[in-house]
Structure 1
Amino acid sequence: MLEARSMEFTSAKTYARVENNLLKAEEWGLKALEKEPENSFIAFFLAKEVFLPQKKQKKAGEMLILASSLPDSRLEKPFRLGETRYKTVHQVLKLYSNDFINFAISDYNQKDYLSAMEKLNIAIELDNKNSAAYMFKAEIEYEQNNKLEESIILINKAIELSKNDNEKNEFHFKKIAYLRKEKQYEEVKDMLTDFLTNSPDDIAANRELFLLYIDMNLLDKAINIGSPLLEIMEEDPNIAMDLISETAYNLGICYRNKASEIYNNIITYQSDTEKTNEKTNDLIDAANDTKELYQIAKDYFQTSTNYDENEISNAKELKKNMRKMRKKIDNDIIPLLEGFLK
């Protein structure tokens, strides 16, 4: 293993560690690397002690990647982290992978998505088994670049490398969410069905299936999943209140939409040229059923409001609207239908 011993490198270390002159340290460090181009410790030194303190993260990444391609070198000061003792440059490089994920997060928050991707590529170069780096790249590819296919490839890689079941499930659900947004409903349903076969009580999976059925406008199936799911979520102290609020809200929407379908059929009946007492009585019964559906929707919107700490939804307004619709059925629709009876 090579050890740095040139005068240039000695000068670089002095400028960095004693004089705190990082520009001079950079100048002499690069000269040292020219003199000892096979010495990975010099590249590592430039990354760790010169470029990173100057927030020149891309240059630091380039130096770390360069160090990984050169013959291994001893560290000046070996150290222990957990059960592992680190003695060489190559051993240490993987530890910097998560740092570059953090740099990518900072870039992402500044909406510099190109720079974020560059940092994630460095993270993967330093540790090609870092599942979080692949997952973050997948999110940027889909959410910012609108590239579903590339995103799914990256998510599959992240799933393959996932460290535990919780991480694997998190990545699976992200994949499901993206596919659902792209209306690839049958694939999503198959994935969720397979998952729920082994974990039928999983809240996250049942919630995704509930949302899927809503997207597919399969309201009865959505309600059959969502109603017991809401009860379970309310009893689980680990479930965030905004998720409970959202589930109750979506159940309210399901019942409102079911009621609206019947209501629209009743309105259409006004122009029916072949009205009969049998049809009319059936629609009077349907109008009463619609009232009940609006009441259930109103109750779910109230539940949603109870859990909506930040009052970000329009559940209160929808609750008022459900009450108005019930009154309209009593005051206008049922009397109108009764007037059609012969």
Structure 2
Amino acid sequence: MTIKRNKILFLLFSIAILTITGCVSSSMEYRSATTAARSEKNLKKAEEWGLKALAIEADSSNAHIPYFLAIEVYKPKKNWVKMAEMLDEAVRRNPTQQLERPIVIDRDNIFLTIEEGVKTYREEEWSKLYNLSVEYFQKDEFELAIQNLGIAIKMDPSRGESYGTLAALHLQKENPYKAKEIALVGSKNAPRYSLNYQVLADIAIKAENLDEAEKYYETAIENTDAPGPIMRQLIFLYIDKGETQRAIEYSDVLLNKYPNDPDLYFNIGVLFQRLALEAFDPARELYLALPNVPTLDDVKPVFDRFSNSRKYAYNARDYFLQASDLEIEGDGSSGRAAIEMRKLMKQIDEIFVPSIREIARSQNIDLN
């Protein structure tokens, strides 16, 4: 019953279109092309006649010709590049021209114009091409994935996923120049797609242009429904910029936004772990280089660095433990990280701080 109703709808709309617009004049070449494709099932002949029809000056505004070549010749031949070119040409010629064969999906989805038909086929073929690219990537067939994503971009230039994924692939293959070129085009053609800006931020970080990276991360956050992972990257960027307090304050913002996210607690733990080690390593070097008769200016910086390292290690351990508590199926990494921070604190408490206090006492140095 549904199929029959759709056929009736199709006929009614076809009759209505012919009544309103009249028959579009067509050349002998175009009629020969459609006959070859539809009746003779000869795609080679259909392509030859179709290309001749395409070149006729009098029919230069007839969008049916490139649309026919795209859908009835190049699509069945799986020539996606030519199909994309003909879809572009059809829209360029006359986007509002009525389709010869309206597309009837159901009662609420009936497409009548060239522009609507092109959009429908773009979406369908783009999905196939993109999914195939993902399959190639999962099989480590990167060159095929790159090639296919390039075709996907031609098929539907408005889909940001193609640019972002292709740019990320080039970045993975250590080609930042190509990655940046593609991501910039993607940010222009699909400005609401976040991954393009993330790739641009990653490239800027590799080039040590941290201010530019920050701007791209902020734009990426504005253009995604799931900003959490990008916001976490921004925390580490603040650390790289030497803006430790800003990173800590931003961590608090994230915790208020995602209070039950174990990954967030773990990443903030990593942040404080990094701060702890960045304070500990120079402190140890300064400690080992203390002169036999040190002054206040020698001892106090070492003591302060170890104190900061312990404070950060304590915070790191706390966040790792909270991550471990929130994890449902963790791999134990949070617990192991907490143990490492506990070891670092013990080393500071039992070895370095007592030794420094003894050195200070022997030289009548006040560390307070």
Scaled by the length of structure 1, the TM-score of the pair is: 0.69
Map 1:132-171 → 2, pairs under 5 A: 138-139=167-168, 142-144=171-173, 145-147=175-177, 149-151=180-182, 153-158=184-189, 162=191, 167=192
Measured after TM superposition, the shift of residue 294 of structure 1 is 1.9
Tell me how far apart the structure 1 counterparts of residues 43 and 220 of structure 2 sit (CA, whole Å).
53
Tell me how far apart the structure 1 counterparts of residues 326 and 207 of structure 2 sit (CA, whole Å).
29
Q: Is 1:77 equivalent to 2:107 in the alignment?
A: no
Counterpart in the other structure of 1:117: 150
Tell me: CA distance 1:121–1:31, structure 2 relative to 1, closer, same or farther (3 Å): closer
Tell me how far apart the structure 1 counterparts of residues 220 and 320 of structure 2 sit (CA, whole Å).
30
Counterpart in the other structure of 1:98: 123
Q: Is 1:48 equivalent to 2:71 in the alignment?
A: yes
Asked if structure 2 preserves the Cα contact closer than 8 Å seen for 1:256 and 1:293, the reply is: yes
| CA deviation string 1:216-271 (max 9, x = no partner) | 24333322322342243215xxxx654x25532333334423542564256335x4
Tell me how far apart the structure 2 counterparts of residues 256 and 311 of structure 1 sit (CA, whole Å).
24
Counterpart in the other structure of 1:184: 209
Measured after TM superposition, the shift of residue 13 of structure 1 is 1.0
Asked if structure 2 preserves the Cα contact closer than 8 Å seen for 1:255 and 1:296, the reply is: no
Q: Is 1:225 equivalent to 2:242 in the alignment?
A: no
Q: Is 1:321 equivalent to 2:340 in the alignment?
A: yes
Between 35-44 and 76-85, report the one with greater CA deviation. 76-85
Identity across aligned pairs (percent)?
Answer: 18
Counterpart in the other structure of 1:247: 267
Map 1:11-30 → 2, pairs under 5 A: 11-14=36-39, 24-30=41-47
Measured after TM superposition, the shift of residue 210 of structure 1 is 1.6
Between 60-69 and 213-222, report the one with greater CA deviation. 60-69
Counterpart in the other structure of 1:19: none
Cα-Cα RMSD: 4.3
Measured after TM superposition, the shift of residue 54 of structure 1 is 5.3
Q: Which runs of 5+ in 1 are unaligned?
A: 16-23, 197-201
The AA in structure 1 aligned to 2:205 is: R
Counterpart in the other structure of 1:297: 316
Tell me how far apart the structure 1 counterparts of residues 64 and 218 of structure 2 sit (CA, whole Å).
52
Asked if structure 1 preserves the Cα contact closer than 8 Å seen for 2:164 and 2:186, the reply is: yes
Asked if structure 1 preserves the Cα contact closer than 8 Å seen for 2:266 and 2:319, the reply is: no
Tell me: CA distance 1:246–1:331, structure 2 relative to 1, closer, same or farther (3 Å): closer
Tell me how far apart the structure 1 counterparts of residues 33 and 70 of structure 2 sit (CA, whole Å).
16
The AA in structure 2 aligned to 1:26 is: L
Measured after TM superposition, the shift of residue 280 of structure 1 is 5.1
Q: Which runs of 5+ in 2 are unaligned?
A: 1-23, 57-61, 137-141, 222-226, 363-368
Tell me: CA distance 1:79–1:135, structure 2 relative to 1, closer, same or farther (3 Å): same
Asked if structure 1 preserves the Cα contact closer than 8 Å seen for 2:122 and 2:156, the reply is: yes
Counterpart in the other structure of 1:9: 34
Tell me: CA distance 1:53–1:250, structure 2 relative to 1, closer, same or farther (3 Å): farther
Counterpart in the other structure of 2:235: 210
Measured after TM superposition, the shift of residue 46 of structure 1 is 4.3
Asked if structure 2 preserves the Cα contact closer than 8 Å seen for 1:214 and 1:254, the reply is: no
Counterpart in the other structure of 2:133: 107
The AA in structure 2 aligned to 1:232 is: K
Tell me how far apart the structure 1 counterparts of residues 338 and 68 of structure 2 sit (CA, whole Å).
64
Measured after TM superposition, the shift of residue 90 of structure 1 is 4.8
Work out the number of aligned pairs and report it.
314
